[in-house]
Amino acid sequence: MKKLILYTAGITVLVLASVAALIYKWTITPYGRLHPVMGVINRLLNLVSTYGLFDRNNLPQVRQMMSMVRPRIPVAGVIDQSIDGPGGSIPIRIYVPDGKGPFPVIVFFHGGGFSIGSIESHENVTRSIAKKSSSLVVSVGYRLAPENPFPAAFDDAYAAVQWAQANASEFNGDPTRLGVAGDSAGGNLAAAVSLKARDEEGPSIGLQVLLYPTTVLTDMDFPSRRNFSGYVLTEESGKHVLDHYLPDITIRSDPYASPLLAEDHSRLPPAYVMTAAFDPLLDEGLLYAEQLRAAGVPVTYRNYEGMLHGFLSFDDIVSIFPPLARLLKEPDYVYSDVADAVGHWL
């Protein structure tokens, strides 16, 4: 019996050592080390390939798959309703945090290359922001491309911010403490509506939270776009996104599509800008933060080492495997950063 126990223990140690060695191998890249959890996810994504993620024929299936997220972050309340928009009704979901309020209000725009993603796909991202920052979060189901190209998503986003300022008090929100937030394509929308609100003296936005944002929708050459193609996002997927959202190439430099190309970045809301170190969008996020700072806008910039694009959403996958989940602390750090920014500026 003792020999059997020792044999079993030896096999277990050998298997664990082999798994650890394999994971370590997956973290090694020409550009440094991936976080171990990101190394596993990157390997899995490479096996299933992400090249067809934004293919027009695949969009219905991808949208359905991305919406199958199980809510796991508790909040005090969730309210679904629709608001009037320039192209018809816009679905929104309001997350109410614990506490007495009135709460700061954050209008959130989900990522997904303007053509996939939904309120449901970002259920736990928005819940986490609401819970950690004690904010009333309004998540916006804007129109998606290619069925609705630019400026449909942008117009819906701006309409939602206008609605939030006019109606947040009905949900125990404080419309005088209004922020916008978004990840990836949603970060683009948050930056763009901040520009328009300034240009047109619209809603008074006190904070923009830009989470690994895409800030320029042209074929500008950035080292990160070249070096990290294939790390979640690919050059081919980027082309699909542009073709879906901006089929008219003559307007891709419009500052409301490409905020980085705006002539003036002064008098914009204070910004929290977060990037991921292994993200094709790294350089444009960093450059936008630098342009804001150069224009006199207060900026908090964080680059998360070892992380892939979309790592906040990957937390949903990792949560299924507790040993891996215990290793991934970075999403919590980001939500703490956002809470600090909300506390400081709103």
Q: Which residues are catalytic?
A: 184, 279, 309
Contact 207, 272 (CB under 8 A): yes
Rg (CA), the chain: 21
Write b or e for each residue in 282-306: b if 16 or more Cβ atoms lie within 10 A of its Cβ, otherwise e: bbbbbebbebbbeeebebbbebbeb
Q: Which residues pair with 79 in a beta bridge?
A: 94
SS3 107: strand
Q: Where are the alpha helices (DSSP H) in the chain?
A: 2-27, 36-48, 59-66, 123-133, 152-167, 185-199, 223-227, 235-245, 282-294, 311-318, 322-325, 330-345
What the block records as the tokens of 174 is: 């404080």
Contact 108, 86 (CB under 8 A): no
SS3 90: strand
DSSP state of 146: T
Strands 32-33 and 28-29: antiparallel
Q: Which residue has the tokens 């979901």?
A: 93
Q: Which residue has the tokens 């293919």?
A: 55
Query: Which segments within 212-282 are labelled E, that is strand?
Result: 271-278
Dihedral sign from CA coordinates of 79, 143, 137, 168: negative
